[in-house]
């Protein structure tokens, strides 16, 4: 053990209030995820892409972002992240059920395509990896404007690191030492293809060397490790220190999406072993152990979140679809 046995939340300056808000976001994300699968089975949500298992990675990253100041270029798995940045359970459900008031797309995009100009969450397509060049371009924009103290976080799965657009985004960010933090949420599968068939090196972070940036590996199920690394990387970026590739090793606890059956490519033993390492349980255990919250308070929090999810479900189900007359709106400015 290191001589410094200060608990990580103290060392990292995370207040009780922030920790509990973070736990609430994690729980809200998982409960919303649960609800979405149910709504999918009921035929009310045509598509679910899960965030379950990625909650610590995404919360740790969200804590490192100055909301509405830094840009975030997310991918389809980042539900916990966007909730931590300010999208509500209702926002998520309106998006999943393609309602008019879906803040991400007004019912146009399939679930998982989060966007908010106000929160500086950049709209994405489903074309994997295509968004990291946008992250690099934002970095060029700050430089052209002479703006400092601002950074971009671009997030993706490890599967995206095989894409040409990912390589080009990394190349441009590395050449110009742009203020971009590339976060790889490595859950070890691109749908069914295992890591050794999608990434030629043991750690995605090793790729960073080829792009002139630091590569960092953290346990993606440890919210403090993620936050510490993400915070350092974002601060380095904001202060002119250039880009970072941050790899968060994690696991998705559910099939890739509602259209996937993961029994064809993952053993139940493997899934169960990761379920035992559930990042939410781990965070709860830590908070209880350090006297931040009690188990009773966590249960109360969970009940409160469930009530919110119930109310949001009712509201989203009752919410109107976009009118057919709007189908061609916003094609041109």
Are 35 and 317 contacting, i.e. CB atoms less than 8 angstroms apart? no
Q: Residues 143, 277, 282, 290: which binds other proteins (CB under 8 A)?
A: 143
Q: Does residue 43 interact with other proteins by CB under 8 A? A: no
In whole angstroms, what is the distance from residue 323 CA to residue 101 CA? 11
Stretch that binds other proteins, among 2-10, 85-93, 131-139, 216-224 (CB under 8 A): 131-139
CB of 132 to other proteins, least distance (A): 8
Stretch that binds other proteins, among 20-28, 33-41, 137-145, 207-215 (CB under 8 A): 137-145
Bridge partners of residue 257, in order along the sequence: 49
What pairing do the DSSP bridges indicate for beta strands 180-186 and 244-249?
parallel
In whole angstroms, what is the distance from residue 181 CA to residue 169 CA? 11
Near other proteins in 58-117, by CB under 8 A = 71, 73, 102, 104-109, 113, 115-117
Are 116 and 104 contacting, i.e. CB atoms less than 8 angstroms apart? yes
Closer of 171 and 232 to other proteins (Cβ): 171
**DSSP collapsed to 3 states, 115-181:** CECCCCECCCCCCCCCCHHHHHHHHHHHHHHCCCCCCEEEEEEHHHHHCHHHHHHHHHHHHCCCCEE
Give the H or E element holding residue 249: strand 244-249
Q: Residues 12, 21, 67, 141: which binds other proteins (CB under 8 A)?
A: 141
Q: Residues 6, 127, 148, 295: which binds other proteins (CB under 8 A)?
A: 127
Closer of 139 and 159 to other proteins (Cβ): 139
Q: Does residue 241 interact with other proteins by CB under 8 A? A: no
Distances (CA, A) of 274 to 120, 216, 249, 254, 269: 33, 22, 12, 11, 9
Q: Residues 12, 31, 123, 315: which binds other proteins (CB under 8 A)?
A: 123
Residues that bind other proteins (CB under 8 A): 71, 73, 102, 104-109, 113, 115-117, 122-123, 125, 127, 130, 132-146, 164-165, 168-169, 171-172, 175-176, 329-333
């Amino acid at each position: 053990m290191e001589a410094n046995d200060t608990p990580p939340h103290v060392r990292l300056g995370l207040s009780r209030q922030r920790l509990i808000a973070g736990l609430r976001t994690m729980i809200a994300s998982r409960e919303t995820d649960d609800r979405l699968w149910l709504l999918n089975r009921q035929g009310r949500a045509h598509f679910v892409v899960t965030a379950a298992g990625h909650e610590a990675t995404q919360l740790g990253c969200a804590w490192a972002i100055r909301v509405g100041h830094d840009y975030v270029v997310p991918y389809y798995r980042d539900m916990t992240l966007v909730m931590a940045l300010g999208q509500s359970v209702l926002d998520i459900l309106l998006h999943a059920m393609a309602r008019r008031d879906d803040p991400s797309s007004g019912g146009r995009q399939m679930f998982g395509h989060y966007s908010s100009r106000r929160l500086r969450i950049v709209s994405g397509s489903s074309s994997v990896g295509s968004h990291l060049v946008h992250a690099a371009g934002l970095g060029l924009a700050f430089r052209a404007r002479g703006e400092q103290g601002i950074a971009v976080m671009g997030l993706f799965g490890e599967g995206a690191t095989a894409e040409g657009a990912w390589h080009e985004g990394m190349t441009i960010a590395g050449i110009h030492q742009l203020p971009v933090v590339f976060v790889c949420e490595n859950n070890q599968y691109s749908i069914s293809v295992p890591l050794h068939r999608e990434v030629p090196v043991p750690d995605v972070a090793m790729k960073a060397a080829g792009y002139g940036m630091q590569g960092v590996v953290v346990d993606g199920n440890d919210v403090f490790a993620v936050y510490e690394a993400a915070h350092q990387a974002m601060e380095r970026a904001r202060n002119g220190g250039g880009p970072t590739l941050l790899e968060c090793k994690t696991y998705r606890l559910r099939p890739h999406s509602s259209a996937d059956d993961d029994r064809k490519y993952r053993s139940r033993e493997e899934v169960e072993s990761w379920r035992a390492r559930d990042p939410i349980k781990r965070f709860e255990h830590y908070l209880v152990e350090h006297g931040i919250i009690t188990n009773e308070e966590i249960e109360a929090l969970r009940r409160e979140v469930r009530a919110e999810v119930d109310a949001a479900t009712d509201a989203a189900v009752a919410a109107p679809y976009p009118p057919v007359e709007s189908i061609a709106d916003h094609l041109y400015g």
